[in-house]
């Protein structure tokens, strides 16, 4: 069916950012603070993406556990600014304050290197940092198409309560997480494993409160059960646990009785397919209902717990990745390769569950990366010169997604992409590919973005 309609065009922006997760926030704020007229487009009514709407309230990948008992930081900049503000308000937890012997934020030292935070406070803080920086926010807005001319993206076609309109900009950032804008612009992309294109399981997250943390901790310590594997095995043997996963993951939030439950693993969900994510939501709510019943019946400390909230969106770990100017490899990651154009660093390890066996980590037992350095070239898609991509959809080998897909390195990539737009605008309107990398590094240093880059 051919459908044609004249639609209004907005004023032209210097920089348009598609997707208001933490990656997009950092991209937009970084550009706006340097004077670019910037718009940030988000399909929900708040910023933060998976961190807030998805209820994944534990920011990982920006610091690493050290034997000293403290956490060296590897991501600074806007990520540090946001987390330090929330910590000062007692709306997030400073990792260095966590008891090393009893760690309810993951239940063993390796996962304590994150920042648990309060969802509603985070939403308000992200609003404020964008507005204070001069970012134009546009909520409840879907990007339905694009317009290109040659190798340039000229417009994002959007729809909201005001109807259809065309947002024009000199440069664009795709921070959708799914490479939506790159895909619509006919940039090459790949999805999932090379052999079958299957992707990592999805998770509908939920929070519970009224948890007896001390009772739960006592059971975990006395039974060496940080993931309740033995309890789950006994329930499976009794026929009461028929889920396809064998571990229970809980993380204490800012209130001692409130826990984020990151347990269910939904196989076969395609985050780019409407029917699939609809099924993921309906099936996920039923699965949570059943899991929560077992938690109250069998899991020490959860007997009197209450189901506080279920995420209104499903948590997607993997969809499309661009085929960019450069593809970061597992071999480079294992070597700790540092690149001349490194712009972000992750301290997270292997974490990309098998598409069919959701409790299996294919790289389990193999050498873990210490730091993953992300080259700028991985953010540059093919075919469109004024588009940059940041977040988990950059150009990497699939297994590299484990370290780079979490929120702190995504924030770092977002901030770098915003500063790349600044650099391009100041260099006779250079393309993203052709900016002077030394200029970008100078901006990153000027804005205190990275603790460890080279």
- The strand pairing partners of 311, in sequence order, are none
* Terminal Cα distance for the chain, rounded: 54
Same domain (yes/no): 242, 279 = yes
| Domain count along the chain | 2
Same domain (yes/no): 44, 164 = yes
Q: How confident is the chain (454 residues) per 10-residue block, as mean pLDDT? A: 90 97 98 98 98 96 75 91 97 82 62 84 98 98 98 98 97 98 98 93 98 92 89 97 94 93 96 98 98 98 98 97 95 90 91 86 69 96 98 96 94 98 92 96 93 55
Predicted confidence at residue 106, as pLDDT, reads 63
Q: Is residue 379 domain-resident?
A: yes
Same domain (yes/no): 428, 394 = yes
Q: Is residue 74 domain-resident?
A: no
Which residue range forms the structural domain that includes residue 385?
9-65+119-194+319-351+371-446
Exposure on the CB side of residue 219, measured as CA atoms within 13 A: 15
Q: What are phi and psi of 100, to 5 degrees?
A: -65, -30
Same domain (yes/no): 151, 38 = yes
Same domain (yes/no): 22, 137 = yes
Same domain (yes/no): 413, 433 = yes
Same domain (yes/no): 177, 234 = no
Same domain (yes/no): 127, 23 = yes
Domain of 59: which CATH number? 3.50.50.60
Same domain (yes/no): 183, 243 = no
Q: Is residue 52 domain-resident?
A: yes
Q: Is residue 287 domain-resident?
A: yes
Q: Is residue 454 domain-resident?
A: no
Predicted confidence at residue 454, as pLDDT, reads 44
Q: Is residue 93 domain-resident?
A: no
* Interatomic CA distance for residues 199 and 317, integer angstroms: 8
Same domain (yes/no): 127, 210 = no
* Interatomic CA distance for residues 5 and 7, integer angstroms: 6
Q: Is residue 88 domain-resident?
A: no
Q: Are residues 46 and 86 in contact, defined by beta-carbon separation less than 8 angstroms?
A: no
Same domain (yes/no): 274, 180 = no
Q: Is residue 72 domain-resident?
A: no
Same domain (yes/no): 301, 410 = no
Predicted confidence at residue 64, as pLDDT, reads 79
* Interatomic CA distance for residues 15 and 28, integer angstroms: 8
pTM score, whole prediction:
0.96
Which of 259, 283, 310 terminates a domain? The answer is 310
Q: Are residues 386 and 13 in contact, defined by beta-carbon separation less than 8 angstroms?
A: no
Nearest CA-CA partner of 145 in 177, 172, 181:
181
Predicted confidence at residue 210, as pLDDT, reads 98
Nearest CA-CA partner of 414 in 75, 125, 119, 187:
75
Q: What are phi and psi of 48, to 5 degrees?
A: 110, -20
């Amino acid at each position: 069916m051919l459908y044609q309609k004249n639609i209004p065009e907005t004023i032209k922006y210097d920089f348009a950012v598609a997707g208001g997760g933490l990656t997009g926030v950092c991209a937009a704020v970084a550009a706006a603070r340097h004077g670019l007229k910037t718009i940030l487009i988000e399909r929900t009514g708040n910023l933060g993406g998976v961190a807030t709407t998805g209820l994944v309230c534990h920011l990982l990948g920006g610091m690493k556990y050290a034997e000293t008992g403290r956490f060296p930081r590897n991501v600074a900049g806007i990520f540090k600014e946001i987390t330090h503000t929330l910590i000062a308000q007692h709306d997030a937890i400073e990792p260095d304050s966590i008891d090393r012997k009893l760690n309810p934020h993951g239940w063993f030292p390796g996962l304590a290197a994150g920042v648990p935070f309060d969802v509603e406070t985070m939403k308000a803080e992200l609003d404020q940092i964008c507005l204070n920086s001069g970012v134009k926010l546009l909520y409840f807005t879907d990007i339905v198409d694009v317009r290109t001319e040659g190798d340039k993206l000229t417009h994002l076609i959007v729809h909201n309560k005001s109807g259809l309109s065309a947002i024009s900009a000199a440069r664009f950032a795709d921070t959708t997480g799914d490479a939506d804008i790159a895909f619509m612009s006919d940039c090459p992309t790949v999805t999932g494993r090379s052999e079958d294109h299957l992707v990592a399981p999805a998770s509908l997250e939920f929070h519970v409160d009224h948890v007896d943390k001390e009772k739960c901790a006592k059971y975990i310590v006395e039974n060496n059960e940080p993931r309740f594997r033995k309890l789950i095995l006994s329930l499976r043997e009794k026929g009461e646990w028929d889920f396809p996963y064998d571990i229970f993951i809980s993380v204490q939030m800012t209130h001692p009785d409130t826990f984020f439950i990151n347990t269910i693993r939904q196989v076969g969900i395609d985050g780019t397919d409407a029917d699939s994510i609809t099924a993921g939501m309906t099936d996920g709510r039923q699965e949570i209902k059943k899991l929560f019943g077992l938690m109250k019946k069998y899991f020490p400390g959860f007997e009197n717990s209450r189901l506080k909230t279920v995420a209104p969106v499903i948590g997607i770990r993997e969809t499309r990745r661009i085929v960019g100017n450069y593809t970061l490899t597992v071999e480079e990651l294992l070597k700790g390769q540092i690149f001349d154009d490194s712009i972000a660093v992750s301290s997270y390890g292997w974490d990309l569950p098998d598409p069919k066996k959701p409790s299996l980590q294919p790289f389990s037992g193999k050498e873990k990366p210490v730091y993953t350095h992300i080259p700028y070239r991985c953010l540059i898609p093919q075919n469109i010169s004024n588009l940059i991509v940041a977040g988990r959809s950059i150009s990497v080998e699939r297994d590299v997604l484990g370290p780079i897909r979490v929120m702190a390195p995504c924030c770092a990539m977002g901030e770098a992409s915003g500063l790349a737009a600044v650099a391009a605008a100041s260099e006779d309107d250079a393309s993203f590919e052709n900016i002077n990398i030394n200029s970008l590094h100078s901006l990153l240093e000027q804005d205190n973005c990275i603790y460890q880059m080279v």
